[in-house]
Structure 1
């Protein structure tokens, strides 16, 4: 089998495509012949050697925490009915191993890929999609809302934008290029604002029509996230879940500011999400069901597995649209 291996921390070029020993599932485990592997921003953070609240992996290792494919082997104690089934799994924060032609995971983490849903969409929804569902359940959007979404052309942002419009809300998306603005509008946004251009703050105010926003969904943080959050009026809800800004920090408000502004602010991931009824598995199931029903439509940008380093570079330089997915090639030789 072949895998992307990381032997050192550093720039994207530390990711190398290698032939490795075949994996065998242990008790309670299955092996997936991988057809799609999700790339997460946290993968790039850990690859670079930045902890960011998580312990660094032991090297060498194969990155990737999201994988879809076909079950081609099962370990002791696993129902053999899984053999030959299309499946998708979140491999876990610590296990990883998705950037490969085969991956091993716990049978308990598997979900059947719904009929009519392709593997790119399935691997998007098992991680990014479940996060979107968790954020949306906490945001409780309605037709009365005016919603601002940062990083609105990303994998998570496009899903949130679709959901805001489905709820009947006025939706404004922030993105970083003309092409990305087009994508945001295609996902249903009423307005899209390029935050890389001078005077974008004024254009955001114009897009809002001079009225305050009621909800800000912020996956960027830093100055951009702060500017977006400052559009909230009294009673507004600020949900934050990422820090991709150059400052590398969440947008947050002090208790005094919250009281003065009359808004609420909460970190929508971590304990807030894990504590939702039914837990993470229920969020995964809902995400897959919504995608299969067309209620959410994942936007995906694919790279061949052998170009994982290029995929990381593109993600880090904000040159991607939607969710980044690696596809093992049919001819798996270097």
Structure 2
């Protein structure tokens, strides 16, 4: 089968499509014929080598964490899903490899009929990350949440899932994306200098929590929240600890439920069925910034690194 991988750290050009042996569904896993799969900012950093100390990788490395497709293998012990079912989900973080013609999923849910394959292919990572962080911040009804970088692949989903919890959401983005954020249910604010004042005008009573999807502004975000414990970042900012801010990255768990990985949080896979329910109610969509064929994975990574993509970037075919 064809799969996207790299043999060395470097720029997007190190990515290539290789002919590799197809994986198979082991116990507790399913395999899908992939219709679409996601590109994440975190994985572009893995490819560049920027996260080699935090996320060590064996080379060659097959890329891709989330995917959607048609089930064609069901592993031992798996129930509730059959060959031919349409699903979306995520690979084991230790294995990845979803940017391929076939992928093994460790967690999945039925593909909502309202979502296209492109939307479903880019959904699982953002849903899991959003659920993980919103749970850690205990975001709920009556609270005010600030999402820094709200127009990106995770931010767009975080806004909608927080609104579904009954929270008031303020989202930062460039001015050209303000109307888009309003359509998702957020009050928009421009990021950059003076952010605290703009947030104060929108939320005179202050904010209860901050979800940082963008990075680069932790001192300001801590000041806005009033307490570093009320800020969680998913941006790979190695200064987070010095600001007292938790940097959340997901990992599989052992038999006791403990996350495997330094500083990692357990994957919030319980968010997948929540997302399905919201999608069926018309309350969760997955904005897709662009879709590229597998052979253009490098171009997809370049777009992700530009930080100008509104929504999720996916690979198809």
- Deviation of 1:52 after TM superposition, in Å, equals 4.7
| Number of equivalent positions | 304
Summarize the Cα distance change of 1:12–1:144 in structure 2 as closer, same or farther, 3 Å threshold: same
TM-score (norm 2): 0.80
For 1:25, the equivalent position in structure 2 comes to 24
For 1:228, the equivalent position in structure 2 comes to 221
Distance in 2 between the 1:291 and 1:80 partners? 20
Does structure 1 conserve the Cα–Cα contact (< 8 Å) formed by 2:129 and 2:250? Answer: no
- Deviation of 1:150 after TM superposition, in Å, equals 0.4
Pairing 1:93–2:93 present: yes
Q: How does 1:259-278 map to 2 (within 5 A)?
A: 266=246, 270=250
Q: Residue 82 of structure 1 aligns to a residue in which SS?
A: coil
1:211-247 Cα deviation digits (max 9, x unpaired): 432222223344x13212212358x961313125xx6
Which blocks of at least 5 consecutive residues in structure 2 are unaligned?
260-265
Distance in 2 between the 1:153 and 1:52 partners? 29
Q: How does 1:87-126 map to 2 (within 5 A)?
A: 87-103=87-103, 105=104, 109-126=107-124
Q: How does 1:73-88 map to 2 (within 5 A)?
A: 73=73, 82-88=82-88
For 1:242, the equivalent position in structure 2 comes to 234
Structure with larger Rg? 1
Range with bigger deviation, 178-187 or 34-43: 178-187
Q: Residue 126 of structure 2 aligns to a residue in which SS?
A: helix
For 2:284, the equivalent position in structure 1 comes to 296
TM-score (norm 1): 0.77
Q: Residue 3 of structure 1 aligns to a residue in which SS?
A: strand
- Deviation of 1:166 after TM superposition, in Å, equals 4.2
Does structure 2 conserve the Cα–Cα contact (< 8 Å) formed by 1:219 and 1:243? Answer: yes
Distance in 2 between the 1:153 and 1:294 partners? 19
Summarize the Cα distance change of 1:26–1:217 in structure 2 as closer, same or farther, 3 Å threshold: closer
- Deviation of 1:55 after TM superposition, in Å, equals 1.2
Pairing 1:203–2:184 present: no
- Deviation of 1:43 after TM superposition, in Å, equals 1.1
Query: Of 156, 159, 162, which aligns to 2:157?
Result: 159
Pairing 1:9–2:3 present: no
Summarize the Cα distance change of 1:52–1:313 in structure 2 as closer, same or farther, 3 Å threshold: farther
For 2:182, the equivalent position in structure 1 comes to 185
Distance in 2 between the 1:14 and 1:47 partners? 8
